Amino acid sequence: MEGRLKGQAATNVAPPLHTVKPLPRTIFNRVFAAIYALAILTLLYYHAKTLIYSTTLVSFSTTLALLFSDLVLAFMWVNTQTFRMCPVYQRSPEALFESNHPCTSESEKIKMMYESMKDKVGHVLERGKVGDQYITSDHEREAFNKWSNNFTRQDHPAVIQVLLDASKDKDIDGYSMPNLIYISRGKGKASPHHFKAGALNALLRVSGSMTNAPMILSLDCDFRSNDPQTPLRVLCYLCDPAISPDFAYVQFPQLFQGINKSDIYNAEYKRLFQINMLGFDGLSGPNHVGTGGFFRRRSFFGSPSRLISPEIPELAPDYVVDKPIQSHSILSLAHRVANCNYENQTDWGSKIGFRYGSLVEDYYTGFRMHCEGWKSSFCNPDRPAFFGDVPTSLIGALDQQKRWSVGLLEVGFSKYSPATYGVRTRGPLMGLAYAQVAFWPLWSIPITAYAFLPQLALLNKVYIFPKVSEPWFFLYAFLFLGAYGQDCLEFILAGGTIQRWWSDQRFWIIRGITSYVFGSMEFFLKFLGISAFGFTVTSKAVDAEQSKRYEQGIFEFGVHSPMFVTLTMAAIINLISFSQGLVEVCRGNDLEGLFVQMFISGFAVVNCWPIYEAIALRNDNGKMPIKTTIMATLLAGAFYAAASFICR
């Protein structure tokens, strides 16, 4: 009888609101990391030995360049291992979310309304004004009438209009509607507006003055909700008594609709938005990725143990708003805090709110929060919480990565560098995990070196790698196969496909000789005061032909860009180098000495097939511009001539 009562009591215990499960591959990751680290040290020893015994300037210079490239690779590899040391998987209890969410007539109706709204927005953007046919009430007309002829995009006062008031407006069934407020923050030519971070801080202040709700969702304009139960999942974390008071936010992954089957531009970013997040989650929690983050308002005002009070008490996270949102005092305060010069002489952007100083304000803000002692959690349910749009042209994808590169280097070389400040405040694992992202653009060094150096050496009959019969060859083989094998395994275990993994690693190489190079150059020029950069919004707009090519998995070039020049130049040099290697083999030269350089060139040739296709086999509007091809050919010839002169 006593045992039965105990069993009954046990079944009545409430299930945990969320669980944490270590990934089974953790032990394998740690063992493999130890073995691979020994292999890297052995490779560095091989380079050092070759460098010491070099007898020619060419041999010395080539070995020194490879040594430096491999040191950068080793640094980035060490940082990457932090994600593999203790990855965990967290989901809120599935018992609460067993519904399959069947497609209903109501959901279809909402979908049709969304498509109609999207068409209307597109029409308004084309005309540059909101026509009378889209204004359904005097209330809406009042908001648009505030935009006078004297307003410009960079110079206008704050505009705030309450479109729905929860205390008054009802839906057709009589239920209260949520507050819906239109906000356009004030801007002035003489006042810096800090791009997206400035907009988010203005929203933080306006929402604080009008409602001061304790939870905030940050969502990009091109993202949309896919699961109405997402807020309930968030509450499973925020309301869990096991969660400590230093919990700041729940981060959902960035997921996208409309990606073609092979994901030719690596728009999914599975490693960034899913795989690495599991590694972050086993430490202090994931970084913020700009969208899909539910924050506690308190986390924007100092550390968990020390509240930084804002300049006026009405913006404090614990302030209770006890007046209607349309009262004169509330609206007056909202306009005041949305003004373009409100932040002058305040802590906004430095100690309060989203942080200024980087084009990647999401990464920087999440990093600073973790350094202050906050924690976060990653929630990746089977049904995606949000979906977004992706760039469907190559230039759009590369421009986005170039902007990220500039912003990441701004953090990496600041006084808050993850490699120093992060390691000191959050420990080596968390600090180096953030450093792996901050120094992403440094991948350009080894990728560019291996894209050109072995190939130019092969063209000049200089063999810089060990023969196949030598023991050192097996070290190179292990390092290559081990890195790519583990990367592929993680990708597949995360729900990816071989085809998309191949696109992922190919686009990593493409970024290395385009976005990362030009982003690094732009940052260092600005750092030296030579030039300045601005914020470029990634275009998601496509025409019918471009959309069709993207669906077919065909790369979109079509416009001239300096980034396409370096990419095409690498493709040309690798093709010529591989062809020269085949000629040497046919002439009877020893394949053993040529093999590694021919393999690197051949590997690049396979990855560059879309470029060769765009140069010679296509006649559509997305082919490679002839101007780009000519410039790349001339530069490739100049590189070859310079290498030949050095090798004499």
Q: And the tokens for 520?
A: 């690094």
Alpha helices in 128-163 (DSSP H): 138-145
Cβ atoms of residues 573 and 636 within 8 Å: yes
Distances 276 to 201, 221, 270, 437 between C-alpha atoms, Å: 28, 25, 8, 10
Distances 376 to 9, 245, 295 between C-alpha atoms, Å: 33, 11, 9
Q: Read off φ and ψ for residue 392, nearest 5 degrees.
A: -115, 25
Q: Read off φ and ψ for residue 638, nearest 5 degrees.
A: -65, -40
Smallest CA-to-CA distance from 250 within 259, 260, 237 is with 237
Tell me the angle at which helices 498-512 and 515-527 cross, rounded to the nearest 10 degrees: 40
Q: And the tokens for 26?
A: 């953790």
Any bridge partners for residue 224, and if so which? 387
One-letter amino acid of 460: N
> Diameter of the chain by CA atoms?
95
Any idea what DSSP says for residue 126? H
Smallest CA-to-CA distance from 163 within 186, 179, 176, 184 is with 179
Distances 547 to 101, 542, 553, 623 between C-alpha atoms, Å: 30, 6, 10, 14
Smallest CA-to-CA distance from 324 within 462, 225, 201, 181 is with 181
Cβ atoms of residues 565 and 442 within 8 Å: no
Any bridge partners for residue 215, and if so which? 296
Flag whether 189 is marked binding: no
Flag whether 196 is marked binding: yes
Smallest CA-to-CA distance from 519 within 616, 613, 444 is with 444
**Distance from C-alpha of 335 to C-alpha of 159, rounded to nearest angstrom:** 7
Number of neighbouring beta carbons within 10 Å of residue 170: 11
Sign of the CA dihedral 401, 405, 406, 410? positive
Cβ atoms of residues 293 and 218 within 8 Å: yes
Cβ atoms of residues 304 and 373 within 8 Å: yes
Q: And the tokens for 634?
A: 């001339």
116: Cβ contacts below 8 Å, ≥ 6 apart: none
**Annotated binding residues for Mn(2+):** 196, 220
**Annotated binding residues:** 196, 220
